[in-house]
Chains A and B, each alone.
Chain A
Amino acid sequence: MRALVVGGGIVGAACARTLARDGFSTTLLEKQVVGGGATAAGMGHIVVMDDSEPQFALTKYSRDLWDSLVPELPPEVEFERRGTLWVAADEEEFSFVAPKVAWYGARGVRAEVLDAQAISGAEPMLRPGLAGGFVVNEDSVIYAPCAAAWLARGVERRVGVRISEVGDGWLRMSDGDKMEADLVVVAGGAESVALFPQLKMKPRKGHLLITDRYPGAVHHQLVELGYLKSAHGHSTESVAFNIQPRKTGQLLIGSSRQYGQTSSALEQHMVRKMLQRAVEYLPGLAEMSVIRGWTGFRAATEDKLPVIGYLPGHTKTLLATGHEGLGITTSLATGEIVADLALGRVSGIDRSPFAVERMWSE
């Protein structure tokens, strides 16, 4: 049985891996570089998220899959179990912490409440006067482009090819060649809308900055509790505090979200807003040296859940995209669900919330 996977980002790589593992003769088709696109532009954060039950189920299932891979991951993937520290700026935000920790605990996710003193001890660089927060101990950090390349290792690929059209069990390349397969998976990220205008999905631009090396400055991935307001809101422009320490001691500074931008150029007003937000939480950041900035485009569906399923009316072509800011985390679960769909197996979680039909306009 033959499978074609369109898109060599981490989701495409994960799908190619599971399909090849489960017996498909698989070819990965990638326009630029395996591990590129949004995979290379984002933070490699493996995080459970509680915005909805399906989102939690997908992130938890996928985080567990990452954990089972840890013994095999090579050094260049830079896996570190940093934990996520969710920061409450004030008493109002802090009032949500204990219920969240209980919610996670009831679902098998270890998390610990930190009061004002404990959060300062856990992260001395955080500004004084924060109300506290909580740590999700088992969340991790990876270097996503290398993870994608590793997941796709051994899979046959054609790089530098563009796809102009996708049908049921076939696709057409931009040079006119047609390829047929028993299974076609489109994991094209934000650009998938070019192939499927009916898909209710939009690119969502993000900025990141990286600092020089400051080993030991920050220990956990730090995220403000208001992050979900940015990620799951619909406003045209928003920023949220999100910092990741890397193995080199460099800090990744995020996060920003914009709809309606097509240029990948850095936008000064967004960089400024993002840095101002970051400095509110980490005043010492203002003294640090930022060495580089870049942007990327997330694939954002209208209801904030990915689309993982057969195209409406199709039996051989699947979509696996729309992961917004959770593509790294949920790539492995997506790969499993895609292989399950291909082989008619039940999945480890309920996959009906990710059906393509709900995000398809006829």
Chain B
Amino acid sequence: MRIRVNGNSIEVQEGTSLAAALENAGLTLFRRSVKGEPRGPLCGMGICFECRVAVDGVAHTKACQVQVRDGMEVICG
């Protein structure tokens, strides 16, 4: 299936978490800290909050806690 990340279409495997799909696609910058430093997944299990991205218009969605869906719109950074 395909999802869009920052406007770019990428191929992802069904059953993958969004965090894994983004990392598989070579993306490491999920969000920025208050001071602008790059952040990405740490715990992979929903408790560190570092993997948050906007998914289908909803900000602060934990990428490690959602599975990819066909046509999903993701904004990182």
A interface vs B, CB < 8 Å? 212-214, 248, 287, 289
Which residues from chain A contact B34 at a C-beta distance below 8 Å?
Answer: 213, 248
How many whole Å from A272's CB to the nearest CB in chain B? 22
B59 within 8 Å of A (CB atoms)? yes
Please tell me if the beta carbons of B58 and A287 are within 8 angstroms of each other in the complex: yes
Please tell me if the beta carbons of B58 and A212 are within 8 angstroms of each other in the complex: no
How many whole Å from B29's CB to the nearest CB in chain A? 16
Which residues from chain B contact A214 at a C-beta distance below 8 Å?
Answer: 59
A-B contact pairs, 9 of them (CB 8 A): A212-B59, A212-B60, A213-B34, A213-B60, A214-B59, A248-B34, A287-B58, A289-B59, A289-B60
Q: Kindly state the separation between the CA atoms of A287 and B59 in the bound complex, as whole angstroms.
A: 9
Q: Kindly state the separation between the CA atoms of A214 and B58 in the bound complex, as whole angstroms.
A: 11
Q: Kindly state the separation between the CA atoms of A200 and B58 in the bound complex, as whole angstroms.
A: 49
Which residues from chain A contact B60 at a C-beta distance below 8 Å?
Answer: 212-213, 289
- Taken residue by residue from 49 to 64, chain B's Cβ proximity to chain A (1 for < 8 Å, 0 otherwise) reads as 0000000001110000
Q: Kindly state the separation between the CA atoms of A212 and B58 in the bound complex, as whole angstroms.
A: 12
Q: How many residues of B contact A (CB 8 A)?
A: 4
Besides A213-B60, A287-B58, A289-B59, 6 new A-B residue pairs in contact (Cβ under 8 A), listed by A number: A212-B59, A212-B60, A213-B34, A214-B59, A248-B34, A289-B60
Which residues from chain A contact B59 at a C-beta distance below 8 Å?
Answer: 212, 214, 289
Q: Give the residue name and chain of the A residue nearest to B31 (CB).
A: A213
Which residues from chain B contact A212 at a C-beta distance below 8 Å?
Answer: 59-60
Q: Kindly state the separation between the CA atoms of A287 and B34 in the bound complex, as whole angstroms.
A: 21
Which residues from chain A contact B58 at a C-beta distance below 8 Å?
Answer: 287
Q: Kindly state the separation between the CA atoms of A289 and B60 in the bound complex, as whole angstroms.
A: 8
How many whole Å from B66's CB to the nearest CB in chain A? 15
Interface residues of B in 14-46 (CB under 8 A from A): 34
Which residues from chain B contact A287 at a C-beta distance below 8 Å?
Answer: 58
Q: Kindly state the separation between the CA atoms of A19 and B63 in the bound complex, as whole angstroms.
A: 54
How many whole Å from B20's CB to the nearest CB in chain A? 23
Most chain A CB within a 10 A radius of its CB, from B34, B58, B59: B59
Q: Kindly state the separation between the CA atoms of A89 and B60 in the bound complex, as whole angstroms.
A: 31
Q: Kindly state the separation between the CA atoms of A289 and B52 in the bound complex, as whole angstroms.
A: 12
Q: Kindly state the separation between the CA atoms of A214 and B52 in the bound complex, as whole angstroms.
A: 13
Q: Give the residue name and chain of the B residue nearest to A287 (CB).
A: B58
How many whole Å from B64's CB to the nearest CB in chain A? 16
Q: Kindly state the separation between the CA atoms of A248 and B58 in the bound complex, as whole angstroms.
A: 18
Which residues from chain B contact A248 at a C-beta distance below 8 Å?
Answer: 34
Q: Give the residue name and chain of the A residue nearest to B52 (CB).
A: A212
How many whole Å from A283's CB to the nearest CB in chain B? 15
Please provide the 8 A-B residue pairs with the shortest distance between their CB atoms, ordered closest to farther. Answer: A212-B60, A289-B60, A248-B34, A214-B59, A287-B58, A212-B59, A213-B34, A213-B60
Q: Kindly state the separation between the CA atoms of A287 and B57 in the bound complex, as whole angstroms.
A: 11
Q: Kindly state the separation between the CA atoms of A213 and B52 in the bound complex, as whole angstroms.
A: 11
How many whole Å from A38's CB to the nearest CB in chain B? 25
Q: Kindly state the separation between the CA atoms of A331 and B34 in the bound complex, as whole angstroms.
A: 29
How many whole Å from B27's CB to the nearest CB in chain A? 20
Q: Kindly state the separation between the CA atoms of A248 and B59 in the bound complex, as whole angstroms.
A: 15
Q: Kindly state the separation between the CA atoms of A311 and B37 in the bound complex, as whole angstroms.
A: 53
Q: Kindly state the separation between the CA atoms of A277 and B60 in the bound complex, as whole angstroms.
A: 24
